[in-house]
Structures are given as structure tokens and as C-alpha cells.
């Protein structure tokens, strides 16, 4: 095929145009890529900064939960960028909820609220990182009264009050009324004016008690949480006893959450908290541990796990845990050997054994805490048709028991209280 000079000029001009367009498009793509990278890096940096702020707040609440208001206020002040506005709003909402709980006639103490706030921050952090967000669970701190003197209903006693947190969680709370072999669901009689307070009214527009009514049962997610006895003319005082539990020891390996998996001789700073909690028929312990590298990429292993410790025998329920219910501890690791701390008898845990840094990769696999428990004392109450001595004494203090009932139950209350003090 023969090409003329004009053909070469046309082909050269076309090639030149093609190359010019290619270069322009390539440069544009680079600029676009740089812009995307810049935006991505900005978002990543902002997320990392927000996570660091939340981690600081969670750590502060672990060590001093009663200072939750100042911790949250400080956290809001540190979330300053536009990309952190959503997180800032969620923390502000958490602060408002905590203030509301504290204002509910101060039924919940500061440590209780601080623990709920810490869990709220953990939920916010999980959402920010795209992790599975643990559902908000209702938590009760007080029920008033602890028993219902039917002779006072509804003239002097027209409602039962519940104080706590996250009462707006749909479907988690159920209240039933038992009596004479029957069980009636009265959950629809609950009034929830706020997420931290509920009332159960008595009378024509609420729950109507009769001479067969024995007790209210409060359930959380299908598990009985609390029992409120109904005092009838013949209701006796429940038998009570103290049971000492040898819970042994538990071991927890927190999952890897940040950085690489190697502490590399940089700490880590370690914090743990072991707490006891109960339902009507079981005792368990929640173990929390956080290990953070002191420099570099801040390798972190952090998490918590609940361990079952004891199940009560049929015919009895756990009324309370006697003594301190949590142990907190922190230190900075400085070697590759196990770190042992003997804590004595001041709390639920007598001994902690940590694996912090090792001679290889450890976060999420080898870093751990082993907790050995002191003997745990539980106050148990029989589950028959009766009322506990503690409930009767509480009613006396709040003037929610008739003189006749108080006089009838006084001898039995005195006997049971002496048994508990032995």
C-alpha cells in the first residue's frame, strides 16, 4: 500500500491528538485519584481521631465511672470537626440520657450511670468502625417498693416504680402477675414516660390485685430478673440464708482491635475490670481487658466476656451479692514474663495473672488475663409464697406497710436478719 505525504501528515496529526488526549486524561485521572486519596485520608484520619477520643473516654470511665459527666463533656469538646458531628451528637445524647437518669429522684448512683455510659460509648465506637453493634439492654437500678402490701392498694399505694436505663428498648421487658397457679402478662399496663423510668399503676386503670395475687415477675429478654412479692393477710416471711460460692478462676483473651498484633517491647498499658452480676437464679462475671501499645501503631487488644459462675438450687433465688461486686486493676508491662498481682480479700478477685507482651505476635492470641476469685457470698431467699425480711424493712422505712402487717411480721423478720448477720 502506498502512502502520500499528506497521509503521513494526517496520521501524525491524529496520533498527536490521541497522545495529547491520553496525557490529559491520565493527568486528570491522577488529579482525581489524588483528590479521592486526599478525601479518603481525611476521612480515615478523622475516624482514627474520633476512635482515639472515644477510647480515652472509655478508659477514663473504666477507672472512675462516677466522673461520667465530666468525661462526656470533655469528649464532646474534643470531637470538633464536621466529619465528627454525628459522633458528637450521639455522645451528647448519651450525656442527656445520663443526666436524666441521675435526675430520676437520684435512684441510680453515679457508678451505675457511669457503667451504662461506658457501654454506650462502646456502642458508638463499634458503629463508627463498622463492627457489630451490641444491642442496648435495659438495666434496673431500683424498684420501689420491694414488696406490695395489698391492704394499702390503691389508697396509699397506687403504683410501682422502676428506675434504670434503656427502658425504651422494644420488647425486652416483661412484667407478669402470678397467683394461685396462674400467670397473667401485665406488661401493657406499664407506663414509660422516659427511657430511665417506668411505672406500673394499680387500680381500675392499671393492675387489679385480688386475694390470690402472690408476686410480680420482671423479665429481661425472657429471663426472670426480679420478684416483687404481694403481701396478703397470711403471707409469711421468706426463709433466708447466705451461700458461699467457690467460683474458681476464669481466663479471658481479648480480641485484637487495632494496629498490628505485636507490642514489640512498647508496654503495653494494661487495664482490667472484673465485675459480678446476678439474675434471680444465676451468678455470672463479666471480664473486661484492654492492652494498648505505648507508641508506634498503638497495637490494641480489647474486649469483654461474660462467664457463668453459679446456678441456684430450685426453690431459692439470689436476693443480693454480699460485699463488693467489682475489681479494677491497671499496670504497664515491661517484660516477656507473666505478671502476677495478689490482691487479697478486699474484692471479688484475689489474684490476677496477665500475659502482656511476648517474644512474638500476641494481641488477640496470647495476651490475656486470668482472674482467681475470692469466696463469693450470696444472700438467697426461698421462692415460695412469701416476702423477704429485707423487703419488709424497706417498706417500714418508706411507710408503705400497714401497722397490722408490720406487727404480724416483726418476729419473723428479726429471726431472719439475725441469721444473715451470723
CATH code (residue 194): 2.60.40
107, 134, 161 - which closes a domain: 134
Q: What is the largest CA-CA distance in the chain?
A: 125
Domain check: are 256 and 169 in the same one? no
Domain check: are 22 and 87 in the same one? yes
Domain check: are 129 and 155 in the same one? no
Domain check: are 33 and 85 in the same one? yes
Domain check: are 156 and 45 in the same one? no
d(CA 66, CA 403): 39
Residues of the domain holding 221: 139-237+385-421
Domain check: are 174 and 223 in the same one? yes
d(CA 234, CA 379): 24
Count CB-CB contacts under 10 A for residue 339.
17
Domain check: are 353 and 393 in the same one? no
- Split at pLDDT 50, 70, 90, the class of 311 is very high
108, 134, 160 - which closes a domain: 134
Q: What is the reported pTM?
A: 0.74
Q: Is the pLDDT of residue 245 over 90?
A: yes
Quote the pLDDT of residue 13: 52
Domain check: are 172 and 108 in the same one? no
Count the domains in the chain: 3
Residue with the three cell numbers 431500683: 142
**What is the chain's mean pLDDT, rounded?**
86
Count CB-CB contacts under 10 A for residue 149.
23
- List residues bridging with 23 in a β-sheet: none
d(CA 103, CA 303): 31
Q: Contact 94/120 with Cβ under 8 angstroms?
A: yes
3-class state of residue 266 by DSSP: coil
d(CA 173, CA 179): 20
Which range scores top for mean pLDDT: 31-40, 121-130, 177-186?
Answer: 177-186
134, 155, 178 - which closes a domain: 134
pLDDT digit string, tens, across residues 86-122: 898 999 988 887 777 666 555 677 777 888 888 889 8
Amino acid at each position: 500500500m502506498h502512502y502520500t505525504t499528506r497521509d503521513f501528515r494526517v496520521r501524525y496529526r491524529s496520533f498527536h491528538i490521541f497522545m495529547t488526549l491520553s496525557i490529559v486524561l491520565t493527568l486528570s485521572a491522577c488529579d482525581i485519584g489524588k483528590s479521592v486519596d486526599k478525601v479518603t485520608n481525611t476521612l480515615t484520619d478523622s475516624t482514627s481521631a474520633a476512635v482515639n477520643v472515644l477510647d480515652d473516654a472509655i478508659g477514663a470511665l473504666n477507672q472512675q465511672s462516677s466522673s461520667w459527666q465530666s468525661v462526656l463533656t470533655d469528649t464532646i469538646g474534643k470531637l470538633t470537626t464536621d466529619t465528627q458531628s454525628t459522633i458528637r451528637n450521639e455522645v451528647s445524647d448519651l450525656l442527656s440520657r445520663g443526666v436524666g437518669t441521675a435526675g430520676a429522684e437520684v435512684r441510680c448512683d453515679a457508678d451505675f450511670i457511669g457503667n451504662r455510659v461506658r457501654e454506650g460509648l462502646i456502642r458508638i465506637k463499634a458503629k463508627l468502625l463498622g463492627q457489630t453493634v451490641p444491642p442496648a439492654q435495659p438495666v434496673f437500678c431500683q424498684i420501689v417498693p420491694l414488696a406490695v402490701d395489698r391492704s394499702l392498694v390503691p389508697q396509699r399505694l397506687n403504683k410501682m416504680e422502676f428506675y434504670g436505663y434503656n427502658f425504651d428498648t422494644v420488647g425486652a421487658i416483661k412484667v407478669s402477675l402470678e397467683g394461685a397457679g396462674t400467670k397473667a402478662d401485665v406488661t401493657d399496663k406499664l407506663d414509660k414516660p422516659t427511657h430511665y423510668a417506668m411505672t406500673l399503676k394499680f387500680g381500675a386503670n392499671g393492675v387489679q390485685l385480688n386475694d390470690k395475687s402472690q408476686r410480680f415477675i420482671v423479665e429481661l429478654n425472657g429471663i426472670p430478673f426480679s420478684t416483687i412479692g404481694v403481701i396478703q393477710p397470711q403471707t409469711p416471711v421468706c426463709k433466708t440464708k447466705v451461700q458461699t460460692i467457690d467460683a474458681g478462676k476464669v481466663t479471658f483473651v481479648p480480641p485484637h482491635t487495632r494496629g498490628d498484633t505485636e507490642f514489640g517491647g512498647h508496654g503495653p498499658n494494661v487495664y482490667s475490670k472484673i465485675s459480678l452480676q446476678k439474675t434471680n437464679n444465676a451468678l455470672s462475671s463479666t471480664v473486661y481487658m484492654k492492652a494498648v501499645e505505648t507508641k508506634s501503631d498503638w497495637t490494641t487488644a480489647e474486649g469483654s466476656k461474660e462467664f457463668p459462675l453459679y446456678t441456684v438450687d430450685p426453690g431459692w433465688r439470689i436476693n443480693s451479692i454480699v460485699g463488693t461486686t467489682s475489681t479494677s486493676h491497671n499496670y504497664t508491662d515491661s517484660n516477656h514474663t507473666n505478671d502476677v498481682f495478689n490482691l487479697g480479700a478486699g474484692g471479688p478477685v484475689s489474684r490476677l495473672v496477665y500475659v502482656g507482651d511476648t517474644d512474638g505476635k500476641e494481641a488477640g492470641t496470647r495476651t490475656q488475663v486470668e482472674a482467681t476469685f475470692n469466696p463469693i457470698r450470696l444472700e438467697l431467699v426461698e421462692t415460695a409464697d412469701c416476702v423477704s425480711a429485707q423487703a419488709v424493712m424497706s417498706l417500714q422505712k418508706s411507710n408503705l406497710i400497714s401497722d397490722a402487717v408490720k406487727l404480724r411480721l416483726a418476729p419473723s423478720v428479726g429471726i431472719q436478719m439475725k441469721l444473715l448477720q451470723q
